């Protein structure tokens, strides 16, 4: 069989798993090239530990170049253009030609999607955001701490609820729980709708037990960073002292510019194979 080059864009869980599985199945003469703008792979689930100061960034991440030992070529670069027809990818200063092209660029997290949100919100959805939130928590004097889920879909549906529960526990351990009014405002009809009504009820119970107020079907339309208020569709302004948000998710710009997204704003794929439809 002729030598092939498989180019995988994005070295998150998706891209790395694909590279590892292909490497275990393909003869070494077939190239596997993994491209990411980042030099390290970060485990998102560890970011709540970073938020609480329980782990350092190096403890929840690994250098991607370690994959070279397994015969995976790692390229550090921004992907600036994708031509899905010719399977040509433009990187910073060079182009890559693929026989097989895998897109695993994840979702772009866009706090700017809601006016005022970027200026006001912290987020543990990125490593830098988790570090900044850790600093903000260390100087937080108490008051209204709001966890906001402004848009769906978002990755890891339990994460914001887990984050709120961990924050409740954090302040309880500091013996400051009574100084912090914790609430979750979500656009969802119930927590974790993807996991069904029983799970929603279960999470509601956990939040109630921890004294966290839950407000569902709240679509955030605007944040006023100066007045520190949240405005919801058809509702009154809600004050906050510290705001933690799940950034609205969207398909990465390079994917949108390649004309790959459908009406949903995402790449339409066969759910069984994840092949583009």
Q: Which of 38, 113, 210, 237 binds ligand FAD (CB under 6 A)?
A: 38
Angle subtended at Cα 134 by Cα 158 and Cα 54, rounded to the nearest 5 degrees: 75
The answer to the question of residue 19 lying near ligand FAD (CB under 6 A) is no
The answer to the question of residue 232 lying near ligand FAD (CB under 6 A) is no
Write down the least CB distance from residue 42 to ligand FAD, Å: 8
Our separate counts of H helices and E strands in the chain read 7, 18
Contact indicator for 213, 227 with CB cutoff of 8 Å:
no
The answer to the question of residue 269 lying near ligand FAD (CB under 6 A) is no
CA end-to-end distance (rounded Å), the chain: 27
Q: Which of 49, 124, 161, 171 binds ligand FAD (CB under 6 A)?
A: 124
Write down the least CB distance from residue 159 to ligand FAD, Å: 4
The answer to the question of residue 81 lying near ligand FAD (CB under 6 A) is no
The answer to the question of residue 185 lying near ligand FAD (CB under 6 A) is no
- Compute how many residues bind ligand FAD; rule: CB under 6 A: 25
Q: CB nearer to ligand FAD: give 37 or 173.
A: 37
Of 54-62, 152-160, 232-240, 268-276, which part binds ligand FAD (CB under 6 A)? Answer: 152-160
Q: CB nearer to ligand FAD: give 15 or 150.
A: 15
**Helix axes of 159-173 and 197-209: crossing angle, nearest 10 degrees:** 20
The residue assigned the tokens 């031509």 is 83
Query: Where are the alpha helices (H) located in the chain, listed in sequence order?
Result: 13-25, 47-51, 117-120, 127-139, 159-173, 197-209, 253-257
Residue 135: exposed, middle, or buried by beta-carbon count in 10 A (0-12, 13-18, 19+)? exposed
The two structure tokens encoding residue 261: 């997204």
Residues of this chain that bind ligand FAD (CB under 6 A): 10-15, 36-38, 44-45, 47-48, 78-79, 104-106, 124-125, 155-156, 159, 252, 254
């Amino acid at each position: 069989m002729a030598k092939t080059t498989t180019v995988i864009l994005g070295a998150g869980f998706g891209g790395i798993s694909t590279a590892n599985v292909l490497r275990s199945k393909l003869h070494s003469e077939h190239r596997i090239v993994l491209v990411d703008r980042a030099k390290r792979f970060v485990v998102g689930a560890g970011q709540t530990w970073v938020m609480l100061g329980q782990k350092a960034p190096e403890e929840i991440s690994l250098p991607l170049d370690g994959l070279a030992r397994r015969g995976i070529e790692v390229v550090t670069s921004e992907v600036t253009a994708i031509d899905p027809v010719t399977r040509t990818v433009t990187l910073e200063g060079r182009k890559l030609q693929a026989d097989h092209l895998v897109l695993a660029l994840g979702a772009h997290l866009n706090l700017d999607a809601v006016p005022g949100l970027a200026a006001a919100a912290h987020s543990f959805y990125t490593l830098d955001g988790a570090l900044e939130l850790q600093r903000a928590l260390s100087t937080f004097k108490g008051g209204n701490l709001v966890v906001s889920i402004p848009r769906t879909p978002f990755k890891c549906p339990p994460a914001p609820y887990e984050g709120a529960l961990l924050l409740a526990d954090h302040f309880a351990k500091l013996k400051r729980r009574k100084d912090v009014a914790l609430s979750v405002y979500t656009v969802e009809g119930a927590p974790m709708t993807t996991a069904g009504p029983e799970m929603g009820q279960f999470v509601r119970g956990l939040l109630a037990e921890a004294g966290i107020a839950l407000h569902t079907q709240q679509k955030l339309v605007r944040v006023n960073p100066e007045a520190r208020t949240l405005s919801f569709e058809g509702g009154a302004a809600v004050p906050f002292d510290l705001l933690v948000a799940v950034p609205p998710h969207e398909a990465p710009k390079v994917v949108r510019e390649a004309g790959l997204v459908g009406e949903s704003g995402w790449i339409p794929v066969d759910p069984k194979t994840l092949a583009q439809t």
